Structure 1
Amino acid sequence: MCFGLTKRGGEIVSESEWQEFVKTVITPRFREGLTVLDGLWQFFNNSGILIIEKSNIVILIYKNSPEKTKSIHKIIGSYKRSFQQESVLRTTSKVKISF
């Protein structure tokens, strides 16, 4: 998932706000672990304006289930409400992993 860090009014999601979100919203739903990467993404918003902003990319590896899908939807909804976001980018793919 790609979480944009610019709020609607131009204010930036602070590092402490982001860390608190990860700690209280994402981690409890994905105790198996996750990876957070810094990113820069661009897109056209609903008004057709090109937006380029810093973002945090969260990689989750999990066994697909309705419960995990519901958890992801809750994470996205919470982020959009908390930080005035139009959207959160989500991509999914099947992978094989081993340790």
Structure 2
Amino acid sequence: MPRFRASVTVLVIGFIAAGCAAVHEAGCAQGEQRSVNDVLYFGTSRAAGTITSAQWSGFLRSAVTPRFPEGLTAWPASGQWRTAGGAIVHEASFVLILVHPDDDTSETSVRAIIGEYKSRFDQEAVLRVKSHACVSF
């Protein structure tokens, strides 16, 4: 019987510890909201020529702002990446940050923005870095 009781105690402690870890991970301080912080990296090179600042601004106006009218942050950047052959390629890019609720509507909107950019500007990929954040104003 003591062995059974010890096993049950270990299991209960394990479940409690796992529950505490989940609460800590998901929890935000008082006055903060749990949100998603998406950072998107858009390359500008393509066969038809570099995507211009004017084209980028038009894309923000038509594809991003209607989906995230609450706000966004964007800026031009200079990036680099390694090809399969090992060469380093430098490319001008645009970075977009979207802080939004962790819900299906926002997720669908981010995916639509990525898809539209790839289609409109003949891009193979858009890098997305998605993380959870605690946000306050």
3-state DSSP class of the match of 1:28?
A: coil
Q: Which amino acid aligns with 2:43?
A: G
Residue 42 (structure 1) aligned to one of 80, 92, 95:
80
Q: Tell me how far apart the structure 2 counterparts of residues 79 and 46 of structure 1 sit (CA, whole Å).
A: 24
Q: Where does residue 60 of structure 2 map in the other structure?
A: 22
Q: Where does residue 68 of structure 1 map in the other structure?
A: 106
Q: TM-score, normalised by structure 1?
A: 0.89
Measure how far apart 1:59 and its partner are. Answer: 0.4
Q: Which amino acid aligns with 1:32?
A: E
Q: Tell me how far apart the structure 2 counterparts of residues 37 and 6 of structure 1 sit (CA, whole Å).
A: 16
Identity of paired residues, percent? 34
Q: TM-score, normalised by structure 2?
A: 0.66
- Deviant stretches of 4+, over 6 Å: none
Measure how far apart 1:10 and its partner are. Answer: 6.1
Residue 127 (structure 2) aligned to one of 65, 75, 89:
89
Aligned-residue Cα RMSD (Å) equals 1.7
Which ranges of structure 1 fall in alignment gaps of 5 or more residues? none
Residues 66 and 53 from structure 1, CA distance in 2 versus in 1: closer, same or farther, beyond 3 angstroms? same
Structure with a larger share of its residues in helix: 2
